[in-house]
Amino acid sequence: RFFEYKPEEATAYELGLKGTSSDGRLRANLAVFRSEFDDLQVSTFDGALSFVVGNAAKAVAQGVEFDAAWAIG
């Protein structure tokens, strides 16, 4: 029973845009994301020689990602 834990469940959302200028010199990408975890599985070092896997409560990971490339010449 020590090695039993609940399955991790995640619900993830992502919305993004990609664009290129009319002359093709500028490209840009934008993404917004959110992931909601139930029974998140975490690994903890026991201080000796091993890791113990268990469940945390709930967790949320969210953010915005942007990147662009511009050809100067």
Please give the mean pLDDT across all residues of the chain.
89
Q: Grade residue 12 by pLDDT with cuts at 50, 70 and 90.
A: very high
CA distance 48 to 58: 27
- Give the global pTM: 0.68
**In the structure, how many helices (H) and strands (E) does the chain have?**
0, 5
Q: What is the mean pLDDT of residues 25-50?
A: 90
What secondary structure does DSSP assign to 48-67, as a single string?
Answer: SS-EEEEE-SEEEEEEEEEE
Instruction: Evaluate if residue 63 carries a pLDDT over 80.
Output: yes
